[in-house]
């Protein structure tokens, strides 16, 4: 992914709105939060209002990795399966009571079309955002490609990170 004008503008907007680097990375897709932070700094946007004054970081040892242990462990490959159900239901009950709201034109967001997967079709790489009444026949999960840093697609990752009062129904 390259930093197109559109992506840079979205980055600026979301950063100004106060979203964290990881949240923005999920929105943009295809980039890590480190990439976002790096870009923010190169754009000289790091200030972002009255945030906690940066304590001025110390310099990193320029060389000599030392015999300490910079070795990075191999992929942990954790399993999310055991908590998928609980997480999904928690989100469901938390988000469902929110009244449907009109999408404001200023939001300028793309609402993804749900693949309407059932629980057995979910994998580590599918969005686990639940839609509908869990007890109804229509209940399903978004199922779109999950972001790199979470169980939701870029769109639902954003919803999940917003306060419940700001969430909207999707798919």
Partner DNA sequence: CCCTGATTCGC
Partner DNA sequence: GCGAATCAGG
Q: Which residues bind DNA (CB under 7 A)?
A: 1-3, 20-23, 31-35, 37-42, 46, 51, 54-63, 65, 70, 72, 78, 149-150
For DNA, give the closer residue by CB, 79 or 165. 79
Nearer to DNA (CB atom), residue 60 or residue 104? 60
Q: Pull the structure tokens for residue 24.
A: 């923005």
| Distance (Å, whole) CA 121 – CA 141 | 9
Number of neighbours of residue 10 by Cβ within 10 angstroms: 15
CB of 135 to DNA, least distance (A): 30
Q: Tell me whether residue 40 or residue 146 sits nearer to DNA (CB atom).
A: 40
Q: Are 144 and 126 in contact (CB under 8 A)?
A: yes
- How far apart CA 35 and CA 21 sit, in angstroms, is 9
Residue 80, CB half-sphere, CA atoms under 13 Å: how many?
15
Cβ 46 to DNA shortest distance, Å: 4
Other CB atoms within 10 A of residue 91 CB: 20
| Nearest distance from C-beta of residue 124 to DNA, angstroms | 14
Q: Which is nearer to DNA, 31 or 114 (CB)?
A: 31
Shortest spacing between CB 31 and DNA, in angstroms: 5
Q: How far is the C-alpha of 114 from the C-alpha of 161, rounded, in Å?
A: 19
């Amino acid at each position: 992914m390259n930093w197109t004008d559109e992506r840079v503008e979205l980055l600026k907007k979301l950063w100004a709105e106060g979203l964290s680097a990881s949240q923005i990375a999920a929105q943009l897709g295809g980039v890590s939060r480190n990439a976002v932070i790096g870009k923010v700094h190169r754009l000289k946007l790091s200030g972002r209002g009255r945030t906690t004054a940066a304590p001025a970081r110390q310099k990193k040892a320029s060389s000599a990795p030392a015999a300490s242990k910079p070795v990075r462990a191999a992929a942990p490959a954790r399993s999310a399966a055991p908590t998928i159900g609980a997480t999904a239901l928690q989100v469901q009950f938390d988000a469902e009571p929110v009244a449907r709201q009109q999408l404001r034109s200023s939001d300028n967001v793309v609402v993804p079309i749900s693949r309407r997967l059932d629980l057995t079709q979910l994998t580590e790489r599918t969005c686990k955002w639940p839609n509908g009444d869990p007890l109804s026949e229509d209940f399903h999960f978004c199922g779109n490609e999950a972001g790199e840093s979470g169980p939701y697609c870029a769109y639902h990752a954003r919803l999940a990170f917003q306060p419940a009062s700001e969430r909207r129904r999707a798919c």
